[in-house]
Structure 1
Amino acid sequence: MMKTLRVLVLLLILGGLSGCGYNAMQRQDEAVKQAWSEVLNQYQRRADLVPNLVNTVKGYAQHEEKVFVEVTNARAKVGSLQVNADTVNDPEKLKQFQAAQGELGGALSRLMVVSENYPQLKADGLFQNLQAQLEGTENRVTVARNRYIQSVADYNSMIRTFPNNLTAKMFGYQIKPNFSVDNEKAISTAPTVDFGTNTPAPASSAH
Structure 2
Amino acid sequence: MLIPIIIISGLVLMLIALYNSLIGKRNKVRNSWSQIDVQLKRRFDLIPNLVEIVKGYANHERSTFEAVTSARTNYLSSNTPDDMMKANGELTQVLGKLFAVAEAYPELKANTNFLELQGELSKTEDKISYARQFYNDVAMDYNNSVQMFPSSLVASMFNFKEEPFFNVDAEEKATPQIKF
Separation of aligned partners in 2, 1:108 and 1:123: 19
Which residue number corresponds to residue 55 of structure 1? 52
Which residue number corresponds to residue 179 of structure 1? 166
Separation of aligned partners in 1, 2:33 and 2:81: 11
Separation of aligned partners in 2, 1:113 and 1:194: 7
Which residue number corresponds to residue 169 of structure 1? 156
Instruction: Tell me the secondary structure at the aligned position of residue 59 of structure 1.
Output: helix
How big is the shift at 1:146? 1.1
Tell me, yes or no, if structure 1 residue 192 matches structure 2 residue 179. Answer: no
After superposition, the CA RMSD in angstroms is: 2.1
TM-score by length of 1: 0.77
Separation of aligned partners in 1, 2:92 and 2:110: 23
CA contact 1:109–1:190 (8 Å) conserved in 2: no
CA contact 2:146–2:155 (8 Å) conserved in 1: yes
Which residue number corresponds to residue 72 of structure 2? 75
Identity of aligned residues (%): 35
Separation of aligned partners in 1, 2:159 and 2:16: 16
TM-score by length of 2: 0.88
Instruction: Tell me the secondary structure at the aligned position of residue 174 of structure 1.
Output: coil
**Code of the aligned partner of 1:192:** P
Which residue number corresponds to residue 65 of structure 1? 62
Change in CA separation of 1:100 and 1:119 when aligned onto 2, cut-off 3 Å? same
Separation of aligned partners in 1, 2:163 and 2:56: 45
Which residue number corresponds to residue 3 of structure 2? none
Which residue number corresponds to residue 128 of structure 2? 141
Separation of aligned partners in 2, 1:166 and 1:126: 56
Which residue number corresponds to residue 16 of structure 1? 14
How big is the shift at 1:177? 2.3
Unaligned runs of 5+ in 1: 1-7, 83-92, 200-207
Give 4+ residue runs of structure 1 displaced > 4 Å after superposition.
8-14
Could you report, residue by residue, the CA deviation over 1:91-147 in whole angstroms, capped at 9, with x for unpaired residues?
A: xx3332211111111111100011111010000000000000111111111111111
Separation of aligned partners in 1, 2:43 and 2:69: 13
How big is the shift at 1:73? 1.1
Larger Rg: 1
Tell me, yes or no, if structure 1 residue 156 matches structure 2 residue 143. Answer: yes
Instruction: Give the total of aligned pairs.
Output: 175
Instruction: Tell me the secondary structure at the aligned position of residue 57 of structure 2.
Output: coil
